[in-house]
Amino acid sequence: MRQRLLLLIALLATLVVAGCGFHLRGSGGAAMPYKTLMIALPETSDVRIWLERYISAGGTTRIVEEASQAEAVFQQLNDSRQQTILSVNAQGRVREYRLQLTYAFRVVDAKGRVLVPPNEIQLSRDISFDDSNVLAKDLEAGLLWRDMNNDLVNQIMRRLSIVKPRNPDLEADDE
């Protein structure tokens, strides 16, 4: 009797969690409203590499190389990365740096009409610095930059997945 009650409670909890729209982070989040997408970035760009991975792993959107074949074109407007001094010690040596990343993008269709207006994402991380451990701190900074890139692509994917595509049949032709 007790096992049936526990089974019933577990079943009810599962139904409540499933019914509220809960899903694990990263699952189902990459489904985009476009069938084809062109990423107008160099092939060696970290952002392009990670975007292609997320898009190909997450849904039915296909990456194409020509804008004429794409339903949507991802365009980078700004990619600014800065390292600024955050604090110094009594001797005037740097104690902390702030790593700042500012990235702006938009999505247009094959005719150049804006589907997603310009979006700007700003990320920052603080890192302590010790001049006796320069190599270790340089490696730590590299890991932080990589983490910021990953966070940037996650934010881009979330923003792209909530966009509702426009119906070109209902819109007047801009030509």
Domain annotation for the chain: domains and CATH numbers: 24-161 (3.30.160.150)
Q: What is the DSSP string of 93-104?
A: -EEEEEEEEEEE
Please give the model's pTM, rounded to 2 decimal places. Answer: 0.73
Condensed to tens digits (0 to 9), the pLDDT of residues 110-120 reads 888 888 889 99
Condensed to tens digits (0 to 9), the pLDDT of residues 51-67 reads 999 888 877 888 899 88
Distance CA 20, CA 93 (A): 53
